[in-house]
Chain A
Amino acid sequence: MSDPVLAVERLNISFHTRRGVLRAVRDLSFHVERGETLAIVGESGCGKSITALSLLGLVPEPGRVEGDAVRLEGRNLLALPEAKLRRLRGARIAMIFQEPMTALNPVLTVGEQIMEAILEHEKVSRAAARDRALALLERVRIPDAKRRFSDYPHRLSGGMRQRVVIAMALALSPAVLVADEPTTALDVTIQAQILELIDELKRENGTAVVLITHDLGVVAEHSDRVLVMYAGRKVEARATADLFARPLHPYTRGLIAARPQPGGGRARLAEIPGTVPSLFAMPAGCAFAPRCAVAEPACGVAVPPLMPAEDGAVACIRAGEIHVPEPAREALRA
């Protein structure tokens, strides 16, 4: 296999606050290949969004990013000065956000914003940038792109805005596209359109996609590999099809079973008791142990190491011995 486009090695992100040091991400490693979608899934506070920001060097104060490397096409972003990082941002790695309005400048027309993105990084004439911006708007299938070109963002619907943001992100054909909950703010029929669009662009351009989401349905349909995070750590990483067929970590299994399934009837949902622990008060050992149905005393002692499992990895000392509960299996086969 060729070198991955993006490789993250032992990433640590911490926040130094008055109330103490908050370790948002610990020892996180993953990689993404060309033309592949890696989904990072987890609940609020698991560190998935801050990981996304760290890939672009955008972790805000008082956050500190440490670790061995964040390698983008061989270059270690952690070792690059801000000026060089800025040149890569947008050009080689781009990001789309949950709320497209935060990424758009309200006083520029959508066409101008895409032109600016191009002119910022490349020495081309304004006319050439204009043509490319228009082509991009058509590419992301904005109807009547010529007229929309000179519209201001507030005149567009949420779905159209997200298309514009995607057009901007793709303006310079980046190698990696980081999408942080790109459809969470959108309606379900619009979500389907946007996710299809991202899939199509990935297929055609060979872009590597890092898809951050909390929605397992989105993961199942739009990713090749999955990384499950809990309380700042990777707990399971597998090929998507395998993960849903045979989830190994009790947390992954809990997440899948907690979701009402279409046609699943009104049987009591398998709930995960309790809530995500505060990053200020992490339990010793496995962070999931206090909520885990199969935890044993050893789980509370040491953080379970990531072990190779099938084609991926899982961080649970009991992953080998426990089987998938029957109802979950049936739901998956349906």
Chain B
Amino acid sequence: MFQSPPAKPCVPESVLSVDDLCVRFSTARGTVHAVDGVSLSLAPGETLGLVGESGCGKSTLGRAVVRLIEPASGRIRLAGEDVTHQPRHRLRAARRNVQMVFQDPFASLDPRWTVGELIAEPLHIHGIGSRAERRARVTDLLHKVGLPPDAAERTPHQFSGGQRQRIGIARALALEPKVVVLDEPVSALDVSVQAQILNLLVGLQRSLGVAFLFISHDLSVVEYVSDRVAVMYLGRIVELADRETLWRSPAHPYTRALLDAVPRISGGHRPAPLKGDLPSPYDPPQGCAFHTRCPLAYGRCRTETPLLRGIGPGHSTACHLADPTLPGAAPLAA
């Protein structure tokens, strides 16, 4: 679909690579292209932030990567192994390499199990270690996420939201995965607790070298944890850049609008907010999906879908205005 995918297809050293992935949902109201031709890759020990507003497909993409959702087309490689269409029973081994942390720490942990049982469950499923070894591993994991060893004997409802998220993280790390997909891991938490979990994640990544695909709608949080950031709009990546570049010189008008919309403690001048609503995913606009809200849209945006193309080292965007080779394009000021 893309002429020149910016992420090199299957870089050998990447632990996760996604090529031209499409996910479709068929409902009574029609078909939604929830993820529409997305390519990205994740290096070992790196954090790739995935931001966008509701319905942009970021969570769907995350779930497709751990194969909770079947992709319609494209390819997913985990540590070099193609897992796109592997049947579930053969996925077991691959699952050791990719784990997931969910948004709602109240819903993702079985309330009837003890914390020790919950954290040991992945070890159990994959037949790792003896009973004593598993117990030792649980204690070790609890320590890593900052919980006391006696937490293993208690049930999840005896813990606060932040502590439960620690339990969820410990469980995701039990198999020593190479990649962890974190789907809005701090969105349900209070600000003071968010900081604890974010510090924990950053520290764990440093010590374990695990790669994170960090999905969030909160730009401040994404900026804090990510090495690189992908911005999604209606199923497509519209901009991909390393963190500093993205915040210093965002190239896509949507990225800029998103950054401007974040309320800031430090105040300062704020441009007028973006007009209009997100278009219905059932009936996305022709051409560039963002043209209905874009303050800079011109004729070509309404007819032709812009492709994601490189505009600098590690920086690519899908906007006609950023294409210097074409007539009618204005150079963008940062």
A residues apposed to B, CB below 8 Å: 43-44, 143, 157-160, 187-193, 195-196, 214-218, 220-222, 244, 254-256, 258-264, 266, 268-273, 275-276, 291, 331-334
Contacts and interface: CB of A to CB of B under 8 A. Distances in A.
A163 to B, nearest CB: 10
A134 B315 CA distance: 47
A266 B163 contact: no
B274 A189 contact: yes
A221 B267 contact: yes
B277 A272 contact: no
B28 interface: no
Nearest to B222: A260
A219 to B, nearest CB: 8
B259 A262 contact: yes
A43 B192 contact: yes
Interface string B13-38: 00000000000000000000000000
B249 interface: no
Interface stretch (B70-78, B129-137, B195-203, B303-311): B195-203
A318 B195 CA distance: 24
B196 A271 contact: yes
B195 A188 contact: no
A263 B220 CA distance: 9
A43 B219 contact: no
A272 B195 contact: yes
Nearest to A265: B224
B192 A254 contact: yes
A187 B224 contact: no
B261 A188 contact: yes
Nearest to A241: B267
B247 to A, nearest CB: 6
B224 A217 contact: no
B53 A259 contact: no
Nearest to B243: A266
A271 B273 contact: no
B217 A159 contact: no
B273 A192 contact: yes
Contacts, number: 132
A72 B196 CA distance: 41
B175 interface: no
B265 A266 contact: no
11 contacts: A43-B190, A43-B192, A187-B54, A193-B275, A259-B220, A260-B220, A262-B247, A262-B262, A266-B202, A268-B199, A269-B195
Contacts of B266: 220, 261-262, 331-334
Contacts of A188: 53, 217, 219, 258, 261-262
Contact of A258 (B194, B272, B275): B194
The 6 lowest CB-CB distance pairs between A and B, nearest first, are: A217-B263, A192-B273, A260-B224, A258-B195, A187-B53, A272-B192
Interface in B276-309: 276-278
Contacts of B265: 216-217, 220, 244, 256, 259, 261, 331-332
B156 to A, nearest CB: 15
Contact of B273 (A193, A216, A266): A193
A216 B195 CA distance: 14
Nearest to A194: B273
A269 B192 CA distance: 10
A260 B53 contact: no
A191 to B, nearest CB: 7
Contacts of A291: 192
Contacts of A160: 277
B300 to A, nearest CB: 23
B80 to A, nearest CB: 29
B276 to A, nearest CB: 8
B116 interface: no
Nearest to B198: A269
Most chain A C-beta atoms within 10 Å of own C-beta, residue among B225, B265, B277: B265
B166 to A, nearest CB: 11
A269 B199 contact: yes
Chain A CB within 10 Å — which of B191, B257, B260, B272 has the most? B191
Given A266-B202, A271-B192, A271-B199, A191 B261 contact: yes
Contacts of B140: none
Contacts of A143: 276
Contacts of A190: 53, 277-278
A2 to B, nearest CB: 28
A269 B191 CA distance: 11
B172 to A, nearest CB: 21
Contacts of A276: 160, 190, 192
